[in-house]
Structure 1
């Protein structure tokens, strides 16, 4: 789906900032967990997929082959937990081992970062809240806080600041946006 993003400057800034956040987390010995979606070519797990992500994934031929590889610079380091068994759900918790891994390792304070705010990030943040985690969404990783064009910025601010905890980027060297 990377090719579908039209504002390349915004995407490039987000990629650079995201790399800085991961580097800073590693420097501070904060565990970095990677979650990716890997699907089979027939997309059977998505069912009919008439609307939303389940339809868009099929339309764009997403999450197959090379698309399932980690974007350059985001590859997990040896020992970093990686989840690849996603079943097409929007949340990183949906049908994965993320919840059991976090609980079994007594990790209850989490930071959530990603690129598909309106879908995967928001679903993961909501799911984490429902499961009792103290989650923080890293806002403004390159200004992608608005996500899709139809996302109302005020709705995003309300969701992340009032309903969940909207965390600032932990390193001042990362570009910020007006949120």
Structure 2
């Protein structure tokens, strides 16, 4: 048995990321896969961390107090599940995440959420650099079309998604699927 509790970190699954607000999105079943993983973690009583982006810009759809700041249906902490609110792209910047993980002996992170090329990627990069065993679940993350820096090209959401994940894989994290994460979860023994 693997001697570490895998922590599921669910990043920014908030109403402000509804499709029409941001444009064309890939992976429309990502939330279904996130919920499947969340339910599996809860059944096995493994640790779950929910992350909520609290934008400091009043015009952001993720500004506290707005409908967009709220978690999407089925998401958000239950019971003693941990909640972190962040203001930056990385879940580690300006939060207690690193200390919380270390204090509890958690070294294996499973990342899901929104969006692949922003907060998921930034968090995965920092997690890898901090020495965590990090996994990003490709079918439980998603992103939107992206306009190039010069405004001349619009990159399709699926291309942005695949490129973002490819940049992470075997460098900062291991990219895998929901079904593989569920299969591996069965090999873990809960450590108190």
User: Structures share a fold, TM > 0.5?
Assistant: yes
Q: Are 1:24 and 2:48 counterparts?
A: no
Match of 2:144? 148
Question: Does residue 166 in structure 1 map to residue 175 in structure 2?
Answer: yes
1:39-54 alignment runs, 5 A limit: 39-40=55-56, 43=57
Matches of 1:59 and 1:116, distance apart in 2 = 19
Give the gaps of 5 or more residues in structure 1: 44-57, 173-179
Partner residue, 1:2: 17
- Write the deviation string for residues 64-93 of structure 1: whole angstroms up to 9, x where unpaired: 313222221012111011112x22x10111
Match of 2:129 in 1: 130
TM-score under structure 1 length normalisation: 0.72
**2:75 alignment partner, SS class:** coil
Once the two structures are superposed, residues 121-172 of structure 1 have per-residue CA deviations (whole angstroms, 9 ceiling, x without a partner) of: 0000001011111111111127x3xx23334465334323321211321348
User: Please, which runs of 5 or more residues in structure 2 have no aligned partner?
Assistant: 1-15, 146-154, 184-192
- Tell me the TM-score normalized by structure 2: 0.68
Of Structure 1 and Structure 2, the greater helix share is in 1
Deviations 1:84-111 (A, max 9, x none): 2x22x10111110100000000101111
Q: How large is the RMSD of aligned CA atoms in angstroms?
A: 2.4
State the SS of the aligned residue for 1:36. Answer: strand
Equivalent positions of 1:77-156 (< 5 A) are 77-84=78-85, 86-87=86-87, 89-141=88-140, 144=142, 147-149=143-145, 150=155, 151-152=159-160, 155-156=163-164
Equivalent pair of 2:17/2:68 in contact (CA under 8 Å): no
Pick closer, same or farther for the CA change 1:99–1:136 going to 2, 3 Å: same
